[in-house]
Structure 1
Amino acid sequence: MRFKLSIKETLSKLLAQEDTDGDKKITKEDKGPKSFSIQDENGKSYDVKGTYFLSNLMQELVIQQREGKEEANILISHIEEPPSQRISRMIKDYFWDDLTRKIDKNGLAKIVGDEKSEDQTQRIYVPSTDEAAITYYNKLQLENKQLEVVTLPSPITPEYVRSINTKPGILSLKLENGKGVPFVVPGGRFNEMYGWDSYFEGVGLLLDNRIDLAKAMVDNFCYQITHYGKILNANRTYYLTRTQPPFLSSFIREVYEADQSVGLDWLKETLLVAIKEYETVWMEDGKRLCDNGLNRYLAEGIGIPPETEAGHFDEVLSEYAKKHGLSLKEFESKYANRELVNEKLDEYFVHDRSVRENGHDTTWRLDNVCADLNTVDLNSLLYKYEKDFEYLIKTYFNDRLGEYNSAYWNEKANRRKFLVIKLLWNEDDGVFYDYNFKTKRQTQFESASNYFPLWAGLCDGQQATVLVRSLMNNLKEKGGVAGTSKKMDETIAAGKHQRQWDYPNGWAPHQMLIWRGLKQHGYTKELQELVYRWLWMITRNAVDYNGTIPEKYDVVNCTHKVYAEYGNVGTEFEYITTSGFGWMNASYQYGLSLLSNGLRDELDRLKDPDKLF
């Protein structure tokens, strides 16, 4: 059935009746009659009933209104669309495009003039090693007097980065044929390309046959390594001193194997850049490589991270202000301007920046200790690099790529695996723990990151068996895998304020890595249960709350209404969300690709997971 409706008139009547709290959404919290009759010019009528169907009607009207139409052709099949099908379709047809950005003449205004700009100047920084980009953006500057183009020095030092904290700006990415190479941002308020978010977004893009966009993101990563020395936390000036969890080898491999028409030359070029990143960012002695042969996160930078919200460090700084006999404001100003130096506080901020480099910003697992840890997650990711290099060189380059062959990388992988099992594996608990190389002790902190070895292929069959048992006992909640365990919340974090990567919250990258690890090791029952729990929570919230797909969820109470630092991106919109959240979108598409047909049917019926498993 199809109805031709006046958009303005229908939308006005629908909202007046059903949006009783006036938030321009139709949710389960509205107190309307939950029934709305539509009728077209031919007298055909249909009663739309229930929160989900009513919000779908509103969304379909708004989609066509934003296309410039005055009358909408409404398909009842879209109003009554099964929830999982509708969410997946919206992601594929709308969300990815809405999250895509380019740093060029057409895309620059939105990026440099967003809410993170602290003044009226639209500022872009360009690496000194990219002469073509310098020429391109300087030409744009002549056309736009609000635009300021700054050429970065070489080398880029922490002192320089600190000096431009009051003049923040976007960092240029790759240009190709006079146009910006596109990338996907995490969520609607973001306009920069983030490190590990991009890999997970790429998984979703590949499933939705957006290989062009996934490839473009790999190309932008390679540009960052070539011109900024690393994959950046994100392409903003204040991120120049830190990287993010390394996923480039996986990203390259998955793009190439999804569509080998990207070419063997592309694979060779990107693979050599990934090897360069491995050697210069991760394996340079004295930095992120420790004396024991394993790796850590170690972000450079001086003082307080400038991107944090006002008051974020008040609790920490107050203690030091009191010792120096200064007010909080006076101390913060003197410390920020380096008029007052405190080595212990400097060390605290080394750890804090390293937490942000780790991607888990923030968690009690890493608080004031991150740079002293050989973390399970990082060493699993680098093991995956080594195994990917081994596989790709052997499979596609006749076992020789420049000076490298598969045996070289196999030896490195075996050495890392030996050290990880020696130092990070806990036989008694049947799990891997982060290792403090200063105290020479495991942290014994229960976290989803402890299960990265399942994904990386680092553990053997017996270890996988006990790992899966530990996972299901300690981190499984109604809505999926929690970031940390309830036990950690009750002990380590007792009396402290909640951190967003900790219990009871759950995050898309943890689910996706754990799912793939379970699949690789043949744990089908556990895989299906965890996928279902996560998708059920997302679907239930989307049905009840106008299609909301946000950044994070409370997996214990199965709600997007979470208390957490930095809010919950993706919950603030009017009428319809057009972007969701990047890695949440990807997790939904990936989860659906794994879920059995029978459970897909139960998902559309919103069957409570506790009644299924």
Structure 2
Amino acid sequence: MVGRRAKRATEEVHSCSSMVYCQGDLLDTVQKQELYADSKTFVDMSQRNDESVTLANFQAMMASTNNTPSKDDVQKFVDDNFVFENETESWTPPDFNENPAFLEKISDPNIRNFAKSLVSFWPQLGRKIRSSVNNNPTRHSLIPVPEGFIVPGGRFREIYYWDSYWIIKGLLISEMHETVKGMLTNLIYLIKQYGLIPNGSRVYYINRSQPPLFASMVGLYLDYTNDLDWLRANIEYIETELNFWLSSRTLNLTSNGVSYMLAHYGTESNTPRPESYSEDIATCAHETSETARRGCYNALKTAAETGWDFSTRWIFDEQGGTNATLSSIDSKRVIPVDLNAFLCKSFGLLADFYGKIGNVSKQNLWANRALEWRNSIETLLYNDADGIWYDFDYDMKVQRQYFFASNFAPLWAECYREENKEQYGSKAVKYFRKSEIELFQGGIPTSLEESGEQWDLPNAWPPLQEFVVLGLHKSGDSEAQSVAKEFANRWISANMKGFETDGAMYEKYDAIYPGQYGGGGEYEVQLGFGWSNGVALAFIDQFSSSSKIKALMSKSLYFAMFSSLSLYFTYYKL
């Protein structure tokens, strides 16, 4: 709701209408039994029969057990009524090319071979929806999109919104323009169906979104293709998606008598996430009232919308700090730097898109909105003394002055006054160094707080590497560009080291120990991995001529161990 934080509903607001996958006694009974190590396993299963039959069979099972079924009873019901089915089939994109031209400009043969291996992964991650899903959509939680797509990998066997940005970037570098066009078509299909792009292409995700990068994806596609016919046919859906954020995710704030508008994350759904059902119940069990529990579930779902599930970034102690556990999560309270940078960039891109097709009035409208957002970000989120942007605590009306890699997102989005960009870069790199990030050999850490959550120390996530590295590099400041190149090279080195060990790319990495996978969170390490491949290819494409990569690769094992152990003792206070 615009103008104030939306109140958490006192009545249940479910993830979707399905009485199997999103709400109801069946979901509650099955997920509370914890039949599988990962709650997502059950809600990704297919029904053997129509939903009405499944529900009737459930009622019969409950009646036969006097409404107190044992774990074995529930397991038998699931086995009889559900099946682990391949809802998608492997798909090799028709435009796959194992030798795209960019490989030829890579001088180092080891890096070239690594990049070629990453390109070769695309068919392994390619999927198309099976006809059985199209023929009986209500038997599945998977949403049947029309075109083939690239999945992230591991447990993530469907489309994910913000992952798609880096997957698309890697595909374009790999000259797979038609595959990208199909992925954009799928996202437009979701916008047409739901008025937003859901977190992912499962029905239990449709009540929440993820970081708004769709306009940026279109910008990448147009940079490579200049496909104005496609743009004319689809520009309305870019606008529809941005209007979703403006209509349901914005707040008004006042500073020195002036009103500003900025965005926050905030789904209205307030029940446990179907894909993390038992975990959410455990997290919110401390709440003594049903209303408070629903508020807790809402905060968890809102944090999932951020893409950072979970982090101390969304946690508040009584003083407004981060010294608390996940049960003290209050995600809607944060006005995030990166979300608003994404929107600022998106508004500017949409203005440019309208300019390309000659719609001057719409071009001016969205250009003015981008300027409005930039001014709000500069006024409320930028800290001139520290030379960086911070998240904003809506309740206490103060900046949250903690290091998060997302603090650099306005640099990446170029959401600043163009004439001052080198100044912003110069100050940001000083903040980077003051925060001692240069100590980390394995990548830029998500935060400097070790909480056990996966979006905190020591994890280094591929998207965040891009925000910091490309943000610093775009500023044009020589010192910032030097640091950017150094960390691009460290990241490629860490990726290559992990690849040499496992022959795979990880979803996240360890910032302290180069090449090791990251930990924490609600599930095991995932291999694949779509956005990791995309960021690595982008860094190689932009920075591959640097000799520093080779130098980093040849550093002695002793030096790497020494650096890692020093950091371990520094940050874990041993």
Question: TM-score higher than 0.5 here?
Answer: yes
AA of the residue aligned to 1:445 = Y
1:392 equivalenced with 2:364 (yes/no): no
Change (3 A) 1:428 1:356: same
Query: Quick one: which amino acid aligns to residue 193 of structure 2?
Result: H
Name stretches of at least 5 consecutive residues in structure 2 with no aligned partner.
Answer: 1-107, 254-260, 316-328, 564-574
Distance in structure 2 (CA, Å) of the matches to 1:313 and 1:468? 42
Q: One-letter code of the match for 1:531?
A: A
Q: Matched residues in 1 for 2:375 and 2:559: separation?
A: 39
Letter in 2 for 1:186: P
2:400 corresponds to which of 406, 424, 443: 443
How is 1:78-477 mapped onto 2 (pairs within 5 angstroms)?
Answer: 82-93=109-120, 95-105=121-131, 124=133, 137-138=134-135, 148-150=136-138, 169-174=141-146, 181-260=147-226, 263-279=227-243, 281-284=244-247, 287-292=248-253, 293-308=261-276, 310-311=278-279, 313-317=281-285, 319-320=286-287, 323=288, 342-367=290-315, 368-394=329-355, 396-400=356-360, 404-405=362-363, 407-459=364-416, 460-461=420-421, 462-474=423-435, 475-476=437-438, 477=440
Change (3 A) 1:83 1:430: same
- After TM superposition, give the deviation of residue 440 of structure 1 in Å: 1.2
Question: Structure 1: which amino acid aligns with 2:467?
Answer: L
CA–CA separation in structure 2 for the residues paired with 1:275 and 1:212: 23
Q: Which position in structure 2 is the counterpart of 1:520? A: 474
More helix by share: 2
2: CA distance between counterparts of 1:90 and 1:588? 11
Tell me if the contact between 2:211 and 2:342 (Cα under 8 Å) persists in the aligned partners.
yes
Q: Percent identity?
A: 27
> Taking structure 1 as reference, are residues 610 and 388 closer, same or farther at Cα in structure 2, changes over 3 Å only?
farther
User: What whole-Å deviation, never above 9, does each CA across 1:424-453 have from its counterpart, x for those lacking one?
Assistant: 112222221111222212122210111100
1:582 to 2:530 alignment: yes
Q: C-alpha offsets along residues 178-203 of structure 1, whole Å, 9 cap, x if unaligned? A: xxx11111113322100100011111
Q: Quick one: which amino acid aligns to residue 149 of structure 1?
A: P
1:253-291 deviation line (CA, Å, top 9, x unaligned): 11112023xx31211233221111111x1111xx31112
Name the aligned partner's letter for residue 274 of structure 1: I
Q: Which amino acid aligns with 1:101?
A: R
Name the aligned partner's letter for residue 560 of structure 1.
Q
Given that 1:536 and 1:606 are in contact with CA atoms closer than 8 Å, whether structure 2 keeps it comes out as: no
Q: Which amino acid aligns with 1:554?
A: D
- Pair 1:298–1:466, CA change in 2 (3 A): same
Q: Give distance in 2, aligned partners of 1:515 and 1:540.
A: 20
Distance 1:196 1:555 in 2: 22
CA contact (8 A) 2:408 2:468 kept: yes
CA contact under 8 A between 1:294 and 1:374: conserved in structure 2?
Answer: yes
* 1:605 Cα offset (Å): 3.9
**Counterpart amino acid of 1:601?**
K
For 1:357 and 1:590, the matched residues in 2 are separated by: 25
Indicate the SS of the match to 1:365: helix
| Distance change (3 Å), C-alpha of 1:567 and 1:602 | farther
Cα deviations across residues 17-47 of structure 1 (Å, max 9, x unaligned)? xxxxxxxxxxxxxxxxxxxxxxxxxxxxxxx
Specify whether residues 421 and 187 from structure 1 end up closer, same or farther in structure 2 by C-alpha distance, changes over 3 A only.
Answer: same
Question: Aligned pair 1:546/2:502, yes or no?
Answer: yes
Q: Distance in 2 between matches of 1:207 and 1:514?
A: 20
In structure 2, give the amino acid aligned to 1:257: D
Q: 1:500 corresponds to which residue?
A: 454
CA distance in 2, matches of 1:480, 1:408: 39
C-alpha separation between the residues in 1 aligned to 2:430 and 2:168?
30
Pair 608,222 (structure 1): closer, same or farther in 2 beyond 3 Å: farther
Asked if the contact 2:459/2:509 (under 8 Å) is kept, the reply is: yes
- Give the match's secondary structure for 1:102: strand
Shift of 1:348: 1.7
Q: Distance in 1 between matches of 2:515 and 2:281?
A: 28
SS at match of 1:90: helix
Give CA deviations for 1:500-524 in whole Å, capped at 9, x if unaligned. Answer: 0101100000112222222221232
CA contact (8 A) 1:478 1:610 kept: no
Dislocated runs of 4+, deviation >6 Å: 607-611
Q: Tell me the alpha carbon deviations over residues 152-197 of structure 1, each in whole angstroms, 9 at most, x when there is no partner.
A: xxxxxxxxxxxxxxx76111213xxxxxx11111113322100100
CA distance in 1 between partners of 2:475 and 2:137 (Å): 51
Question: How much does 1:313 deviate?
Answer: 4.5
> Residue 87 of structure 1 aligns to which amino acid in structure 2?
F
TM-score where L is the length of structure 2: 0.70
Q: CA RMSD in A?
A: 2.3
Aligned to 2:49: none
Shift of 1:375: 0.7
Matched residue pairs, number? Answer: 424
2: CA distance, partners of 1:366 / 1:256: 35
Deviations, residues 335-388 of structure 1 (Å, cap 9, x unaligned): xxxxxx622222222211111111011111113221122110110000001111
Distance, in Å, in 1 between the alignment partners of 2:456 and 2:558 is 22
SS in 1 for 2:490: helix
Structure 1, unaligned runs of 5 or more: 1-80, 109-123, 125-136, 139-147, 151-166, 175-180, 324-340, 572-579
Kept in 2, the 8 Å contact 1:202–1:251? The answer is yes
Letter in 1 for 2:498: N
2:391 & 2:373 partners in 1: Cα distance?
14
Checking the alignment, whether the CA contact within 8 Å between 1:87 and 1:547 is kept in structure 2 is no
Matched residue SS, 1:501:
coil
Deviation, 1:609, is: 12
CA contact (8 A) 1:528 1:594 kept: no
Q: For residues 331 and 558 of structure 2, what CA distance do their matches in structure 1 show?
A: 36
Q: 1:202 to 1:609 in 2, by over 3 A?
A: farther
CA contact (8 A) 1:288 1:296 kept: yes
* Distance across 2 between alignment mates of 1:608 and 1:594: 27
Deviation at 1:399, TM superposition (A): 4.6
Q: Using the alignment, how far apart are the partners of 2:343 and 2:455 within structure 1?
A: 22
Question: Counterparts of 1:96 and 1:300 in 2: how far apart (Å)?
Answer: 36
CA contact (8 A) 1:247 1:381 kept: yes
Letter in 2 for 1:546: D
CA distance in 1, matches of 2:502, 2:292: 48
Residue 100 of structure 1 aligns with an amino acid whose one-letter code is: G
TM-score for the superposition, normalised by structure 1: 0.65
Aligned: 1:601 with 2:558 = no
Aligned partners of 2:470 and 2:558: how far apart in 1?
20
Matched, 1:478 2:441: yes
Please tell me whether the aligned partners of residues 562 and 568 of structure 1 are also in contact (alpha carbons under 8 angstroms): no
Counterpart secondary structure, 1:307: helix
